[in-house]
Every structure is written in C-alpha cells, then in structure tokens.
Amino acid sequence: MNYRTGWKSWPHILRLSGGVFDLPGMQEKLNRLESESAAPALWNDPDNARSVMQELSTLQEEVKYWADLRQQILDTQELLLLDDDDLWDELERETEKLERELERGEFQLLFSGPYDRGNAILAIHAGAGGTDAQDWAQMLMRMFLRWAEQRNFKTDILDSLEGDEAGIKRVAIGISGLYTYGNLKSEAGVHRLVRLSPFDSAHRRHTSFALVEVWPDLGDTIKVDINPNDLEIDTFRASTAGGQHMQKNETAVRIHHIPSGIIIACQNQRSQSQNKETALRILKARLIQQEEKKQQQRIADLKGEHTDAGWGNQIRSYVLHPYQMVKDHRTDHETGNVQGVLDGDLDAFMESYLRHNIGK
C-alpha cells in the first residue's frame, strides 16, 4: 500500500468521527438517565421506571458502540501519522474495517422512528396457494430466524399453527435486539414466491403468497389502556396439524378487541394465563402500530398524497423458476442470490427501503 492510497478515504472517516453522530449529546442524555435510574422514588411509578430503564439500556449500548468506534478511528489516525512503511498493510486492513463499521453506523442513523431502536413482534400468515403457501410461510419464518441469529438477537415463538400437510398457517415471533423494529418494519407486506411446486405431482410452477406483519414490542415500557369491557375472550383446545388436539384442557386463548376489530389467538404457551398474557402483549403492539398508522395517514392527507393502507399489494417477489431473482417492488432493489436471501441476508433490502423512504 502506498501513502496516497492509505489516506484516500481518511477525510471521509475523519468527517464522520467529527460530528455525524453526536456522541457528546448522547453521553449527556445517558448521564441524565443514569441519574434518574438511581433516584429512590423512581419505582413509585413502575411504568415510568421500566421506560427509563429500557431507554437507559438501549442508550448505553449505542454510546458504547460509537465511543469504541471513535477510539478506533483516533488510534488508527495516530498510526497513519507515523508514516511507517512497515505498518501500511495493517493500516489498509484497519481502514477498510473502519469504513465498513462507519457505513453500518451511518445506516443506523436512518432509524428516526420513535420505536426503531426497540424490539419487534413479527407475524407470518400463509395466504393464497394452499399447501405451497403454508410451506412458503415456513420458509419465511426460517429466513427471519436466520437473520436474527446472525445478529445474536433473541427470538421467541409466541404462537404458531402448523399447516394441514406441511409448513405453517401462521406464526408470531418476538425478536429482541438493538434496532430490531427499525429493520424489520421494512418487511411488512405480502411476499410472493414463484417456483416449481414440490407438492404438485406434475411438478408445475406455482405462485404462493404470505403476509408478514411487524409491530413494535414495547413490553411494559409504554402504558396502553385497554378497557376489559372492550374484550371478548374465548378459550379453546390447542391443536396440531389436521386439527388433532394436543391436550384436553382449554389452554388456547382468542381475544377480540371490539373497538379495533383486532383478533389475536395464542396457543403455544403451557397455560391459559400465559397464552392470555402473550395475546394481550401482541394486542398492545398492534394497537400502538395502528395509532402510528393513523398519524402517518393524517400527515399524508395534509401533504395531499395518496397512500394505500391495504395489504393487497405485494412488496417483494422471490422467483426460483424459470430464473432466480428476488426483487423489492417498492425500491426496485434486486439480487440473483435467492438462496442467500432465504438464508437471512436481508440487510441490502432493509437499507434500500430505509433510504427510499427518507423524507417521505
């Protein structure tokens, strides 16, 4: 590596280290939250206390990321100033690594929504296409679980219902990690698969659909008032594929929130009380997202824009035959590496969606 190559990208790195992220401002906010968390009266209001502790934990993780990255930049800058030929190969690798990390950091700055930094609940529903659609829903479940696994995010299957012959009819997954909701909200919508069906004896090409829904999972950090009189709660026996009962007791729970029309069913937990708690958790997340959509619609109406709030339009197509391609219809981002995407390589699609929606 020569001297000019070593310094080629350094102005970009120094610019970012000097103020694209507001580390002093983040540190000041962190200090304030730490003081609040140490106050003796904090837990007099449990809901506020949980909110403070959640925000504190998230901000601590962010500050550590940016502080560590800034220190790496400063350390590498000092080595560059030595202008030692024996260090150039190592510095070239370090500079490239820093650029990748800064690109990741810049990407994180795109998350501007109030819940983007937090956890998410992701649901998948098999759509038109029979057994193929149920198999497609399971393929999508695997894709998102692999995506989470690659980031060491925690996942929890909150509810699921197996398909009649293969796959799943529905699943709800809790996913915990920094910026989980900010990333996964790009995946909400109808996903379309085109392939030669393994369930068709003639091996003909089939098109299958599955609906993906994503809600912010705020746990107990934000209070949502749900009037018990607005709920219709039914219990039933949890069942496996084909409708066979797993147990004699009615542990499964179905909640109908009358004002919104939202219906949540949960059967994966061992007890009726656990299933009810999980169903209420999902209901709360959906109500929060519903309010967000109303606010976004009001803004769009003020701008004079037309927005389609329906789920009918597919957001992405996955084609396995007669050619191989995954294409996002909102951003036109596409790739021929279908297997990589199905193995959880979704970052490029998520980033293109976020960049596409800047300023909208």
> Residues 173-188: pLDDT tens digits?
999 988 899 999 999 9
Greater pLDDT, 317 or 64: 317
Could you tell me the pLDDT band of residue 36, with boundaries at 50, 70 and 90? confident
pLDDT at 243 over 60: no
How confident is the model at residue 76, as a pLDDT?
81
**Token pair belonging to 165:** 């012959």
- Which pLDDT score is estimated for 210? 94
What's the angle, vertex CA 102, arms to CA 96 and CA 104, rounded to 5? Answer: 110
Residue intervals of the chain classified under CATH 3.30.70.1660 are 119-356
- Could you tell me if 84 and 178 are in contact, meaning their C-beta atoms sit under 8 angstroms apart? no
Assess whether pLDDT exceeds 90 at residue 121. yes
Predicted confidence at residue 34, as pLDDT, reads 87
- Tally of CB atoms within 10 A around 210: 26
The per-residue pLDDT of the chain, averaged, comes to 81
pLDDT at 154: 93
Q: CA 327, CA 349: separation in Å to the nearest integer?
A: 9
Q: For residue 39, name the pLDDT band (cuts at 50, 70, 90).
A: confident
Distances (CA, A) of 209 to 101, 164, 179: 36, 16, 27
What whole-number percentage of the chain has pLDDT above 90? 34
The predicted structure's pLDDT at residue 220: 59
Provide Rg for the chain, Cα atoms: 24
- List all residues 6 or more positions away from 286 whose beta carbon is below 8 Å from its beta carbon: 215, 260, 262, 264
Q: What is the mean pLDDT of residues 137-162?
A: 94
CATH fourth-level superfamily of 3-108: Release factor (1.20.58.410)
Confidence at residue 5, expressed as pLDDT on a 0 to 100 scale: 45
Higher pLDDT, 82 or 312: 82
The Cα–Cα gap between 92 and 62 comes to: 26
Token pair for 273: 């009380």
d(CA 132, CA 239): 21
State the architecture of 119-356 in CATH terms.
2-Layer Sandwich (3.30)
Provide mean pLDDT across the span 228-249.
70
Look at residue 58 and tell me whether its pLDDT is greater than 90: no
- Confidence check: pLDDT of 3 > 60: no
Q: What local confidence, expressed as pLDDT, does residue 251 receive? A: 84
pTM, two decimal places: 0.70
Average of per-residue pLDDT across 253-257:
92
Q: By mean pLDDT, which of 11-25, 113-127, 262-276 is the weakest?
A: 11-25
Query: Where in the sequence of the chain do the CATH 1.20.58.410 domains occur?
Result: 3-108
**Stretch 44-71: mean pLDDT:** 80
